[in-house]
Structure 1
Amino acid sequence: MNENTTPEHRSGFVSFVGRPNAGKSTLTNALVGKKVVITSNKPQTTRTVVRGIVHRPDAQLILVDTPGLHRPRTLLGERLNDLVKTTWAEVDVVAVCFPANEKPGPGDRFIVNELSKVRRKIKVAIATKTDLVNPEQLGEHLLAIQALGKETNTDWAEIIPVSSESGDQIGLLADLLVGLLPEGPQLYPDGDLTDAPEEILAAELIREAALEGVRDELPHSIAVTVEEMGMRANRDPEKPLLDVFATIHVERDSQKGILIGKKGSRLSAVGKEARQQIEALLGSPVYLDLHVRVAKDWQRDPRQLRRLGF
Structure 2
Amino acid sequence: MSEATGIRVVPSGTGLAASVEGLDLSRPLDDAQWQAVIDAIAAHGVLRFPAQQLTSQQLFEFSSRFGTPEINVGGMFQEPGLPQVMILSNKVRDGKPIGIGDAGQDWHTDMSYSGTVAFANVLYALEVPHRDGRPLGETRFSDMAAAYDTLPDDVKAKIEGRTATHDFEKFWEMMRREKGSPRPPLTAAQRAAKPPVSHPLVMRHPLSGRRTLYANPGYAMFVDGMDRAESDALLEFLFAHQVQERFVHVHRWTKGDLLMWDNLRTIHKAIGDYGPTEPRLIKRCQVMADKVLPQGTAGAAASAPVHA
- TM-score normalised over the length of structure 2: 0.24
Which structure has the larger Rg? 1
Relative to the length of structure 1, the TM-score reads 0.24
Q: Which has the higher strand share?
A: 2
Higher relative contact order (CA 8 A, sep 6+): 2
Greater fraction of residues in helix: 1
